[in-house]
Amino acid sequence: MIVVHYLNQFFAGLGGEEAASLPPSRIEGPVGPGNGLRGAGLLVDTTLACGDNYFAEHEADALSQLLAWLGAIKPDVIVCGPAFGSGRYGYACGVLAREADRLGIPAVCAMAPENPGVLAAAGHAYVIPTAPNVAGMRAALPLVAGLARRLGQGEPVGGPADEGYLPRGLRANTVASKSGAERAVEALLAKLAGHPRTEVEPDADRVAPAKPLADLASTTVALVTESGLIPVGNPDRLPSRHADFWLRYPISDVRSLSPEGYQSVHAGFDTTVANADPNRLVPLDALRLLEQEGRIGTVYGYLYTTSGVDTPVSAATRFGQEIAAELVTAGVQAAILTGT
Amino acid sequence: MTVLITALPTIAQMAGVNRVLRGVSITSPTGDVSLAAADELGLRRQILERALALLAADVAPATVWEVAP
């Protein structure tokens, strides 16, 4: 089994911040935390190192050199870090791990769960969560070494709860000992007995509530919907399910959403009632009244829409981020989102 | 910041939405086909006033409001 270990300049012993601009380098054998991995039963063949600033400022160049070495070495597994709470180091670990995995090299990272490197790995790496500082080294290395050894030897690896790595956003098929009907009845009985439980924990993106709006009368309010509302005839061919894009339509000259002008193509509910009066999906007529009375500043000039049917969370997340970015750039302070 | 008007507030809470207003029904979150047109517009206005109040309120995570206070 061939093992490669990625470190930043500090953990590779090349220097501190003054060495953070060093380009990638290649060292034979284990260095620094690599010695700890050896103590935990994982022998590092080659250590790759790069300055944190060099990677951040020259990502394409750094990655190109590091991947070229990986291509030549052909390791069975790569370990990146531990990077703890270090953002630049963690990011480099996450990106390198992701690209290594794309080349077919299993990757194990270790870093604090809040480290941006977890997102950078984009589900491609097994990320062992660590403390935010180097005090977590001793606890992390045996977990990293054990997981990397098994991945490198092609042994099966269990789910995140069993193995202790962070969820990668993937689902794996497993064989259950009881049928779905039996498990559903058991879950129902448990709920009736006052002990609700679930086999599937929703993986929600928790954010703190935004601060309250201070002055509604000067606020620009946007209307956003997943109800599949589009101009009659669906000129941009919004799919009625599995939509992989959203649309934006000008409404600055529209007082009310008439059934002659608008309709819903949403495949997830009976649109009869909504198509008779599309304001039932997007309350433009009433919002215009509040605008006229000065209760809000203005209604933003575009309606944002998609059809939220069988939409993967990843796609919905992207829609939300893209729409929010446009609204923020346009100076919109509030959005009223309607869902069906 | 966003307020979500939906007849499925539990799902919105599970998804991590912080300001949720319960809509009238799945097929008509901001309307009620059983009302006369003028009354329905009045209801829609009331829904929006509640939505705006929710935007102006300091809330805990996953807060759900009803239209009738």
pLDDT (mean) for A277-299: 98
pLDDT (mean) for A148-169: 92
Tell me the CA distances in angstroms from A339 to A223, A312, B22, one per residue in order.
11, 16, 10
Nearest CB among B3, B48, B63 relative to A286 is that of B48
A122 vs A23, residue with greater confidence: A23
> Contact, A268 vs B19, CB < 8 A?
no
Q: What angle do helix axes A59-73 and A87-102 make, rounded to 10 degrees?
A: 50
Q: Which chain A residues touch B38 with a CB distance below 8 Å?
A: none
Shortest distance between the Cα of A37 and any Cα of chain B, in A, equals 39
Interface mutation vs chain A, best among B2, B14, B67, most A CBs within 10 Å: B2
3-class DSSP state of A109: strand
| Cα-based torsion angle of the residue sequence A37, A40, A42, A47 in order, rounded to the nearest 10 degrees | 10
| Cα-based torsion angle of the residue sequence A93, A98, A100, A106 in order, rounded to the nearest 10 degrees | 100
Judge: A336–B2 Cβ closer than 8 Å, yes or no.
yes
**Within 10 A of A123 (CB to CB), how many other CB atoms are there?**
16
Strands annotated E in chain B = 2-6, 19-22, 63-65
B26: its two tokens: 């799945």
Enumerate the domain spans of chain A. Answer: 3-163, 216-338
A–B CB contacts, 8 A cutoff, strictly below: 131
Task: Choose from A170-174, A256-260, B12-16 the range with maximum mean pLDDT.
Answer: A256-260
**Within 10 A of A244 (CB to CB), how many other CB atoms are there?**
11
> Contact, A297 vs A219, CB < 8 A?
yes
On whether any CB of chain A is under 8 Å from the CB of B39, the answer is no
Cis geometry, peptide bond prior to residue A82 (ω within 30 degrees of 0): yes
Lowest mean pLDDT among A29-38, A142-151, A303-312, A327-336: A303-312
DSSP sequence for A71-108: HHH--SEEEE---TT-HHHHHHHHHHHHHHHHTT--EE
Judge: B6–A296 Cβ closer than 8 Å, yes or no.
no
> Contact, A209 vs B63, CB < 8 A?
yes
Q: Distance (Å, rounded) from C-alpha A173 to C-alpha A166?
A: 18
On whether any CB of chain B is under 8 Å from the CB of A293, the answer is no
Shortest distance between the Cα of A296 and any Cα of chain B, in A, equals 9
Per-residue confidence (pLDDT) for residue A203, from 0 to 100 = 63
Nearest CA in chain B to A325: B1
Tell me the CA distances in angstroms from A41 to A50, A98, A110, A141, one per residue in order.
25, 24, 17, 10
Q: Which chain B residues touch A295 with a CB distance below 8 Å?
A: 49, 52
pLDDT (mean) for A207-233: 96
A281 vs A205, residue with greater confidence: A281
pLDDT above 80 for A176: yes
B37: its two tokens: 């047109």
pLDDT level of residue A46 (50, 70, 90 thresholds): very high
Q: Distance (Å, rounded) from C-alpha B10 to C-alpha B13?
A: 5
Judge: B27–A204 Cβ closer than 8 Å, yes or no.
no
The CATH number, out of the four listed (3.40.50, 3.30.530, 1.10.8, 1.10.3470), of the domain defined by the range A3-163: 3.40.50
Per-residue confidence (pLDDT) for residue A125, from 0 to 100 = 94
Strands annotated E in chain A = 3-8, 25-28, 46-50, 77-80, 107-111, 126-129, 220-225, 229-231, 247-250, 262-264, 298-305, 334-338
pLDDT level of residue A205 (50, 70, 90 thresholds): confident
pLDDT level of residue A204 (50, 70, 90 thresholds): low
pLDDT level of residue A177 (50, 70, 90 thresholds): very high
**Which residues are CB-neighbours of B38 under 8 A, at least 6 positions away?**
none
pLDDT above 70 for A61: yes
- Furthest C-alpha separation in chain A: 74
User: Could you read off the pLDDT of A300-324 as tens digits, one per residue?
Assistant: 999 999 999 988 878 899 999 999 9
pLDDT above 90 for B44: yes
User: Could you read off the pLDDT of A62-84 as tens digits, one per residue?
Assistant: 999 999 999 999 999 999 999 99
Q: What is the ipTM of this complex?
A: 0.98
**Within 10 A of A215 (CB to CB), how many other CB atoms are there?**
10
Q: A73 phi and psi, to 5 degrees?
A: -75, -30
Query: What's the mean per-residue pLDDT of chain A?
Result: 95
Q: Distance (Å, rounded) from C-alpha A299 to C-alpha A191?
A: 45
Q: Distance (Å, rounded) from C-alpha A208 to C-alpha B61?
A: 7
Judge: A283–B59 Cβ closer than 8 Å, yes or no.
no
pLDDT (mean) for A151-174: 89
Lowest mean pLDDT among A66-70, A108-112, A137-141, A168-172: A168-172
Judge: A340–B57 Cβ closer than 8 Å, yes or no.
no
3-class DSSP state of A138: helix
Q: Looking at chain A from residue 194 to 253, which residues have their Cβ under 8 Å from any Cβ of chain B?
A: 202, 204-214, 216, 219, 221, 224, 227
Nearest CB among A216, A277, A281 relative to B52 is that of A216
